[in-house]
């Protein structure tokens, strides 16, 4: 016998022998430094802090986005909808969803297991303009009659409907991309508050809490800028219904069911009831300011 293990083929120079050293004794010298690594990814701070907001003008024209913000789109100021089955949903004015690209009497459709449908007494609630001439009544600023929307295939030379007239009295809105946060501050008095350090003022307004019409409504979170309206008006909603008295879709700018809730000024004393033309009415409403954090200043 040659003494060679058949499982180990012959190899020039032989195989490494075994060692009795421990792993710690086998550690070699420190190697040379490696080459520099690739440059890391730079995070765009503006992108990371980006916020999407809706801004409502309460006028016939949409406002431009505040300085430093980028416009995404324009639309019509939408508040909420309700249906004959009891479904209802409101969208805070701060949210981009409250700025509908198009006006539609009923922008939603209800679906059950078997059907999807729009019913005649389904309603939608929109926000009207609010930049009224001081001293004017709501009837002098908004339509008093029921305005009718005639389908395109039923229009005649004598009856074109009131769609364009309705749209001209709706508040317009703009959705903007902001590089920093926006918030509202309420004084709960009739004194105008100011923005804190490192924040800048966008506008001063009136503290708005909630709008209700028929069986639905929408409330505003007081830290959101949708709770600070630029213009004070007792009428904050327009109710549109799929099938009005004429059988066609209609809109009511002076719905008897509408209610608007503002924050009361704690420093104003009254007997608890005031007329909408009372010269001291606005003094009874809390004032607010909308502020934006200055983007290039670290908190």
What confidence score (pLDDT) does residue 65 get? Answer: 96
What confidence score (pLDDT) does residue 9 get? Answer: 58
Measured between its terminal Cα atoms, the distance across the chain in Å is 86
Q: Report the C-alpha gap between 257 and 2 in whole angstroms.
A: 110
Longest dimension (CA), the chain: 123
What confidence score (pLDDT) does residue 18 get? Answer: 65
Along the chain (299 residues), what's the average pLDDT of each consecutive run of 10 residues? 54 62 70 83 58 96 94 96 80 96 87 84 90 89 92 85 94 96 97 96 96 82 96 90 82 87 90 79 94 73
What confidence score (pLDDT) does residue 274 get? Answer: 80
Q: Tokens 């066609």 belong to which residue?
A: 248
DSSP 293: E
Do residues 54 and 178 touch, judged by C-beta distance below 8 A? no
Q: Report the C-alpha gap between 67 and 249 in whole angstroms.
A: 39
Cβ atoms within 10 Å of 23's Cβ, excluding its own:
6
What confidence score (pLDDT) does residue 299 get? Answer: 42
DSSP string covering 193-212? P-PPTTEEEEEEEEEEEEEE
């Amino acid at each position: 016998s040659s003494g060679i293990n058949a499982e180990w083929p012959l190899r020039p120079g032989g195989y490494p022998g075994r060692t009795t050293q421990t792993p710690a004794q086998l550690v070699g010298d420190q190697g040379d430094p490696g080459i520099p690594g690739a440059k890391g990814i730079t995070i765009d701070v503006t992108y990371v802090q980006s916020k999407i907001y809706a801004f409502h003008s309460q006028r016939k024209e949409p406002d431009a986005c505040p300085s430093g913000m980028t416009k995404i789109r324009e639309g019509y100021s939408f508040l909420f909808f309700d249906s004959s089955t009891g479904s209802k949903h409101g969208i805070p004015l701060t949210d981009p969803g409250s700025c509908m690209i198009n006006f539609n009497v009923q922008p939603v459709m209800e679906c059950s297991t078997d059907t999807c449908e729009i019913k005649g007494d389904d309603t939608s609630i929109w926000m009207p303009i609010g930049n009224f001439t001081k001293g004017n009544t709501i009837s002098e600023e908004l339509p008093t009659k029921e305005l009718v929307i005639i389908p395109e295939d039923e229009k005649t030379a004598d009856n074109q409907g009131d769609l364009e007239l309705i749209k001209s009295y709706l508040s317009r809105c703009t959705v903007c991309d902001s590089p920093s946060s926006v918030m509202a501050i309420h004084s709960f008095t009739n004194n105008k508050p100011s923005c804190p350090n490192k924040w800048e003022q966008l506008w001063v307004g009136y503290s708005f809490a909630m709008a209700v019409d028929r069986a639905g409504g929408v409330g505003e979170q007081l830290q959101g800028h949708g709770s600070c309206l630029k213009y004070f008006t007792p009428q904050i909603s327009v109710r549109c219904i799929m099938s009005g008295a004429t059988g066609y879709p209609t809109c009511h700018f002076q719905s008897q069911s509408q209610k608007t809730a503002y924050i009361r000024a704690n420093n104003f004393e009254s007997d608890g009831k005031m007329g909408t033309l009372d010269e001291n009415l606005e003094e009874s409403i809390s004032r607010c300011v909308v502020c934006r954090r200055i983007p290039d200043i670290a908190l």
